[in-house]
Amino acid sequence: MKKRILTGIRPTGRLHVGHYFGMLRQIAELQDDFESLVMIADVQALTDNFHRPQKVRAMVLEVAYDLIAGGVDPARSTLFIQSLIPEIAELTLYYGNLVTISRLQQNPTVKAEIAQKRALFGNSVTYGFLGYPVSQAADITAFDADLVPVGEDQLPQIELTREIVRKFNQLYGPTLKEPQARVLHTARIRGLDGGSKMGKSLGNALFLSDEAATVDRKIRSALTDPQKLHLHDPGHPEVCTVFEYHGLFNREGLGSIAAECRSGVRGCVACKRELAERVNAFLEPHRRRRAELEARPSEVLEILMEGTRRARAIAREVLARVKERLHLDYLGGVA
Ligand code: TRP
């Protein structure tokens, strides 16, 4: 029997190149060796987008296009929508009794997110946002997931999930599976502006769905070595964002690019043009597959519904087990 992995993604924007290397490509590789569940976490997205639900709704499909075009194969992975699995919400409620407020307030990732979202939360965060890691524990345990592929920043959520599982099992008897994190190697991809991270809200992202002309324009204005002002000035590839991107899209060319840059034969304009060509060659198949999916939104929704049906069957069983343990198993559970 293959082990089961579950991964979740918040539908808050189209996916960019950082998502591709940091997550998507690796998830696509894992689907051969694992039974793979990929959840579009619209309920979690609402915890910081409650003021614009229509945006979350629109992004569910956009993210589905990017996931499928980027290699999540609906024939091998179960792709589904979180809000269509009410069992997750019910588990979240029960898990709330096993987690203290102070435990939630110590979560370093949530703390950092609250600090970034001051405009939304001011100095009083919502119960829903503070509690999203509890709901994430429900996401994971609802499907008896063995492994959760995540970036480093999500490790506190997996740790909390494991604590909830242990507490539940210790109080009520062995019921839930304790998952493990599988850390995705995310050499954080810098933004085109040289910022520490690519992020859609930072305005420095290269989207998988960007058109060729947009890619050209974004790369033309990318940051290079600030000390290299003229074509023949010797450059410092180690500080150059464009060079870093050549490392992702143009591995073979890297050695000669570095040498040419350092010796001053390579100018930034040509270097960027070459990068844009590489990036566009890489993105072209994605754009093509995505366009095919975009032309058939109802088929993509049907894929999501089919995945949701499969996923929900698992969650129903887990919830039944949980309710039995909590002595909430009245006469088969339906009134
Ligand atoms: N919090 C995750 C993120 O922001 C998304 C997510 C929601 C998730 N539910 C999950 C990740 C369950 C792994 C497992 O990236």
Domain spans, the chain: 4-189+297-333, 212-291
Nearest CA to ligand 1 atom 8: 8
Q: How confident is the model at residue 84 (pLDDT cuts 50, 70, 90)?
A: very high
Tens of pLDDT, residues 294-307 = 999 999 999 999 99
| Predicted pLDDT of residue 201 | 66
Task: Map residue 292 onto helix, strand or coil.
Answer: helix
Residue 199 has pLDDT above 80, yes or no: no
Tokens (6 digits) for 209: 């769905």
The CATH architecture that domain 4-189+297-333 belongs to is: 3-Layer(aba) Sandwich (3.40)
Measured from the Cα of 132, ligand 1's closest atom is 1
Contacts of 178 (CB under 8 A, 6+ apart): 162, 165, 166, 169
Q: Is 12 in the pocket of ligand 1 (CB under 6 A)?
A: no
Nearest CA to ligand 1 atom 15: 9
Closest C-alpha among 213, 221, 217, 233 to residue 194: 221
C-alpha neighbours within 13 Å on the C-beta side of residue 325: 19
Q: How confident is the model at residue 191 (pLDDT cuts 50, 70, 90)?
A: confident
For residues 315 and 177, give the distance between their C-alpha atoms in angstroms, rounded to a whole number: 13
Which one of 110, 139, 161, 180 would you pick to mutate in the ligand 1 pocket, going by the greatest count of ligand atoms within 8 A of its CB?
139
Evaluate whether the domain defined by 212-291 bears CATH number 1.10.240.10.
yes
Report how far apart the first and last C-alpha atoms of the chain are (Å, whole number): 37
For residues 102 and 108, give the distance between their C-alpha atoms in angstroms, rounded to a whole number: 12
Residue 143 CA to ligand 1 centre (angstroms): 14
- Per-chain mean pLDDT for the chain: 94
**H-helix segments, the chain:** 17-19, 25-30, 42-46, 53-69, 86-95, 101-105, 108-116, 118-121, 127-130, 132-141, 155-172, 212-220, 241-249, 254-263, 268-294, 297-325
